[in-house]
Amino acid sequence: MEPETYERSIRRMLATGSDPFRNGTDCCCTVHTSAGRYKQALNEARAVIDGWYPGADIAEALGEMEECCRSILAAGYRMAETTAKIYVLAVAL
């Protein structure tokens, strides 16, 4: 019984609704997916610049790249927030 109570109190101190390690895994998946989408959009932008698609609009590819960067940064901030709470808790103990 004691470890379960201890686990709940740690989660309450961390103010995370779910397991912080699961949270980190989800963030890593988000970063990996966004990085792949960014690379694809970058290749599309290069193809437009190199003239492979005459008359194509590069703004779509640039918008996709911007959205991917925002997703990566948001996931990074989310991971850092959880990790920071764990470090502070470790120092306090």
pLDDT confidence of residue 1: 44
pLDDT confidence of residue 57: 87
Rounded CA separation 65/80 (Å): 22
pLDDT one-digit tens code per residue, 13-70? 555 555 555 655 677 888 889 999 999 999 999 999 998 888 888 999 999 999 999 9
- Termini Cα distance of the chain: 21
User: Is the confidence at residue 3, as pLDDT, over 60?
Assistant: no
pTM exceeding the 0.85 threshold for the entire prediction: no
Rounded CA separation 78/66 (Å): 18
| Cα distances (Å, whole numbers) of residue 29 to 53, 57, 75, 78 | 32, 30, 9, 13
pLDDT confidence of residue 2: 45
